[in-house]
Amino acid sequence: MNIQSLDPRVTRLGIDAEEKNPDQTLQREEHWETYQVFHQKKRGEKHSSVGVVHAPNAEMALLFAKEQYARRGETVNLWIVNTRDVLAMDYDDYDVFSTTPEKMYRDPAGYKVNEKIAAFKKAQLDV
Amino acid sequence: MFNTDTLNALRRLLLAMADDHLIIGHRNSEWTGLGPILEEDIAFSSIAQDKIGHALGLYSILNEQLGEADPDTLAFMRNETDFTSCQLVEFPIGEYDFSLVRHLLFDVAALIRFEDASHSAYDPLAKLARKVKGEIKYHVFHASTFVKQLGQGNEESKARMQSAFNQNMALALGMFESFEGEALLVQQGIYKGEAAIRTAWLGEISAILQEAGLQMPDVDKLEPVYGGRKGFHTEFLQPLLDEMTEVFRIDPAAEW
């Protein structure tokens, strides 16, 4: 006897109701890779990461990305990248960043340049 | 600037196109919530929604430029025999393979129609076509990507795609049923004409099928399913109209 579900996608998989671990069967049948989606609002602007789609290949990922992430507002372009191709740091290495919030001297707010710029502009005008 | 015969032919063209889009939009919306996967559910529903939008655009031209009733009345208050949609669009959604192949066959034709209409000598149609042809381009991209994917998938998906094409093809040829006054529209550069659209369509469809590794049915041996443009329909249209107009008919004068 197969599992009968209100969700036709589950019923269609024909999972044996007696099987000990139906979840594993679901994963095996439905496992697709994920693709990262990057959205560009205007030409010349950067593409920004907006989320993920599941798809069996890159072309289908692009197809789905259009409706998932470009269904409202402005869009001129989309990129998709297989999540496998993203080289990410390990969260265990977060300590490499642990002292950076203290380095205020790298924060542009730390430079008091506005007054100097204003003075320079004034000097230019006076000439 | 156009004479009465031309304007009447234009009304027939716009009504047929609008009815096709309304009915296929309604049919495809029946998949909402039941799509094969979440992403596809959203995409297919959006495409169905776009179709209703295109129908509205066409009904609005009939209403605003050609003196026909308002779009709601045209969509919800006419009898079954007043609909001039082709029979392809009224068939039940069936399994996903049937709906997907119908979507491809319909949208490749729609793209040819609207791309040509964007240079139409009838300005309101040209303006609408320029506005919506990008949407239809995505619809074709969606349909052809799916068909190629499944045509090159496993044995079952390939067999199901092929049988969906065999099932749909005679119905799809019915999209190109000619209508009274069509020649006038072609002569005056308003419309490309059904025969020319059919030829372009056959070329596109067989190229997609070839890429998908599927066989193009022998269209010369098929009898196109005509009749829709003259108001002859299958037993499937009336129940669709009953469902589609159910809420509207409770109170046709209600403000939405």
Report the chain B residue with the minimal C-alpha distance to residue A12: B36
In this predicted model, what pLDDT tens digit does every residue of B127-176 receive, in sequence order? 999 999 999 999 999 999 999 999 998 999 999 999 999 999 999 999 99
Nearest to B116 by CA among B225, B224, B200: B200
Q: Which residue has the tokens 């998906």?
A: B157
CA distance B40 to A7: 15
Report the chain B residue with the minimal C-alpha distance to residue A70: B43
> Is the residue at A89 inside a domain?
yes
Is the confidence at residue A119, as pLDDT, over 70?
Answer: yes
From the CB of residue A71, how many other CB atoms can be counted at a distance below 10 Å? 12
Is the confidence at residue A41, as pLDDT, over 70?
Answer: yes
Q: How confident is the model at residue A28 (pLDDT cuts 50, 70, 90)?
A: very low
> Is the residue at A7 inside a domain?
no
> Is the residue at A92 inside a domain?
yes
From the CB of residue B175, how many other CB atoms can be counted at a distance below 10 Å? 27
Domains and CATH numbers, chain B: 4-250 (1.20.1260.10)
pLDDT at position A35 is: 95
- Output phi, psi for B164, to 5 deg: -65, -40
Q: Which two tokens stand for residue A12?
A: 């269609």
What average pLDDT does the segment A61-83 reach? 94
- Give the E-state strand segments of B125-179 in sequence order: none
Is the confidence at residue A100, as pLDDT, over 50?
Answer: yes
> Is the residue at A80 inside a domain?
yes
Per-position DSSP letters for B133-147, written without gaps between them = HHHHHHHHHHHHHHH
Which string of b and e fits B193-226 if b means at least 16 CB within 10 Å?
bbeebbebbeebbeebbeebebeebeeeeeebbb
pLDDT at position A32 is: 80
Which residues of A lie inside 8 Å of B (Cβ-Cβ)?
Answer: 8-9, 30, 53-57, 59-60, 63-64, 66-68, 71
- How does pLDDT run along chain B (256 residues), one tens digit per residue? 799 999 999 999 999 999 999 999 999 999 999 988 888 999 999 999 999 999 999 999 999 999 999 999 999 999 999 999 999 999 999 999 999 999 999 999 999 999 999 999 999 999 999 999 999 999 999 999 999 999 998 999 999 999 999 999 999 999 999 999 999 999 999 999 999 999 999 999 999 999 999 999 999 999 999 999 999 999 999 999 999 999 998 988 888 7
> Is the residue at A13 inside a domain?
no
Question: Does A63 contact B37 at a Cβ distance shorter than 8 Å?
Answer: no
Structurally, how many domains does chain A consist of? 1
> Is the residue at A69 inside a domain?
yes
CA distance B59 to B64: 9
Its pTM stands at: 0.84
> Is the residue at A109 inside a domain?
yes
Domain of A67, in residue numbers:
31-126
In order of A9, A67, B142, B204, the CA distances from A71 in angstroms are 25, 5, 14, 27
Beta bridge partners of A2: A16
In this predicted model, what pLDDT tens digit does every residue of A6-20 receive, in sequence order? 766 667 667 777 766
Query: CB-based burial of residue B188 (10 Å sphere; 0-12 exposed, 13-18 middle, 19+ buried)?
Result: middle
In order of A20, B119, B181, the CA distances from B124 in angstroms are 63, 11, 19
- Tally DSSP H helices, then E strands, for chain B: 9, 0
Instruction: Report yes or no: B145 at the A interface, CB cutoff 8 Å.
Output: yes
Report the chain B residue with the minimal C-alpha distance to residue A68: B39
CATH code of A81's domain: 3.10.20.520
Residues of chain B neighbouring A26 (CB-CB closer than 8 A): none
> Is the residue at A83 inside a domain?
yes
